[in-house]
Amino acid sequence: MFRVKICGITNVDDATAVGRSGADAVGLNFFPKSPRYLAPDRAEAIVEALPPQVVKVGLFVNADAKSVCRTFDRLGLDLIQLHGDEPPEFLSQLGNRPVMRAFRLSDAGLAPVVEYLDRCRQLACMPEMVLIDAMVKGVYGGSGQVADWDVAKRYEAELSAANVPPPPLVLAGGLTPDNVAEAIRAVRPAAVDTASGVESAPGRKDPTAVEAFVRAAAGAFEEE
């Protein structure tokens, strides 16, 4: 659905800059405890400021299914990103709305991801995409910590070995303009996602960093 996502957009100016940068997806963070929190009422202007071809992703953490669906429908979003502790059964409550499921890699590696997706397969509610992030205790994304690339690059092989069809992989976790090309070469994900890696302050994007990130990612994807 996309290749380069800039997450944590909180204002129209940043949305406009990201739209100009060539990024093909943005994330709107509806988790109230995040420094990048965006109230749904304020999100309408941001969605309107984005080019129509940019994928609009709503990020939710342990919200109830009804509020997730209501926000998704009201804003005309394209994708739901679940970044909390939602069980596989939660996806089946979203009425076939497209989902990207985020996982924070722990010492258990990919085993919890395989188990989770196998259950999704059984319930016929497989996510459209899977996002791999770094594990930081008590933090649901946006930590700036680099995910374990050596583990992430085994994603497709481990799922295939378990007879679980692997959804496209989105790599997140500490990606910046300086390391995103290296990350793409190492992991070979379908897409990349960053928030803190292109900010001047939490929730404020640096247009120069955004453009550099998109340029570096696009170049690496072309090579691959």
Q: Give the active site residues.
A: 7, 133
3-state class of 24 per DSSP? coil
**DSSP sequence for 37-80:** B--HHHHHHHHHHS-TTSEEEEEESS--HHHHHHHHHHHT-SEE
Number of H helices, E strands in the chain: 9, 10
Phi-psi bin for 153: left (phi > 0), alpha (psi -120 to 50), beta? alpha
Distance separating alpha carbons of residues 141 and 196, to the nearest angstrom: 10
- What angle, rounded to 10 degrees, do the helices at 40-49 and 12-21 form? 40
